[in-house]
């Protein structure tokens, strides 16, 4: 009997270890790589978003340890970016799209070459580095907003709870999403505005200026005034 071997990619949770191609003949191979019984996460990959022509969209399947969260396995930052949800432990990714029928049929297939190349050439690590920089910036902005009293601990706790639920794969109500986006945007704009002197330290009269900056952004005039004053 002929065994079909699919070309997958092992995504290590350890960022010091690089993703690499692995042959997958069946469930045993996947379990060996992830360290135990498996569960699966999926995401639709749009070739246009990757700037690739003459390619086909496909369903990316990630096989994870099914008790990874209970075992407190480390976050897999690469896989978390790939699947847009919190993923832990080493992950094996394969295509779930039949290259003949172009349907997602539950079997495993080779990861398309064009996608594999972007995972293996470091592009994914670059995306993660930028995402982490953004995360750090947002964290600092939230801390400043809390320190200055722009938002209360309860406000931020609610936002963090919604974001954590989303990271765990739970859907977000559109109204909640709008609130989260506005709170984060306000924190970031406030932080940037404070750093260049365009927005004074928050007080009860500060919302009018905040609303203007949120609507119109930090203008060139604000930057010129700041630079003209020696950055004070």
CA–CA separation, 77 vs 225, rounded Å?
41
pLDDT tens per residue across span 85-128: 889 999 999 999 999 999 998 899 999 999 999 889 887 777 77
231-to-187, 193, 196, 210, 228 alpha-carbon distances in Å: 21, 12, 7, 20, 7
Phi, psi of 104 (to 5 degrees): -85, 110
Q: Of 102, 124, 127, 126, which Cα lies nearest the Cα of 44? A: 102
Q: How far is CA 224 from the centre of its chain?
A: 35
**Dihedral angle of Cα 171, 177, 180, 183, to the nearest 10 degrees:** 180
pTM: 0.63
pLDDT tens per residue across span 47-99: 887 778 888 899 999 999 999 999 999 999 889 888 888 899 999 999 999 99
pLDDT tens per residue across span 175-198: 888 778 888 888 887 787 777 766
């Amino acid at each position: 009997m002929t065994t079909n071997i699919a070309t997958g990619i092992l995504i290590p949770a350890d960022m010091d270890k690089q993703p690499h191609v692995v042959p997958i003949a069946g469930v045993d191979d996947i379990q060996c790589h992830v360290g135990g019984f498996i569960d699966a996460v999926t995401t639709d990959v749009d070739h246009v978003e990757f700037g690739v022509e003459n390619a086909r969209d496909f369903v990316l399947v990630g096989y994870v340890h099914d008790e990874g969260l209970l075992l407190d396995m480390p976050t897999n930052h690469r896989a978390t970016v790939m699947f847009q949800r919190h993923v832990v432990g080493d992950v094996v990714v394969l295509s779930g799209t039949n290259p003949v029928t172009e349907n997602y049929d539950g079997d495993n297939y080779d990861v398309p070459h064009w996608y594999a190349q972007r995972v293996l050439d470091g592009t994914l690590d670059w995306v993660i580095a930028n995402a982490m920089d953004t995360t750090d910036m947002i964290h600092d902005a939230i801390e400043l907003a809390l320190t200055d009293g722009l938002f209360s601990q309860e406000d931020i706790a609610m936002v963090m709870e919604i974001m954590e639920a989303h990271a765990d794969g739970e859907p977000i109500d559109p109204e909640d999403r709008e609130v989260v986006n506005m709170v984060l945007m306000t924190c970031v704009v406030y932080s940037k505005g404070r750093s260049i002197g365009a927005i004074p330290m928050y007080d009860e009269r500060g919302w009018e200026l905040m609303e203007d900056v949120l609507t119109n952004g930090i203008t060139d005039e604000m930057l010129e005034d700041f630079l003209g004053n020696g950055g004070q």
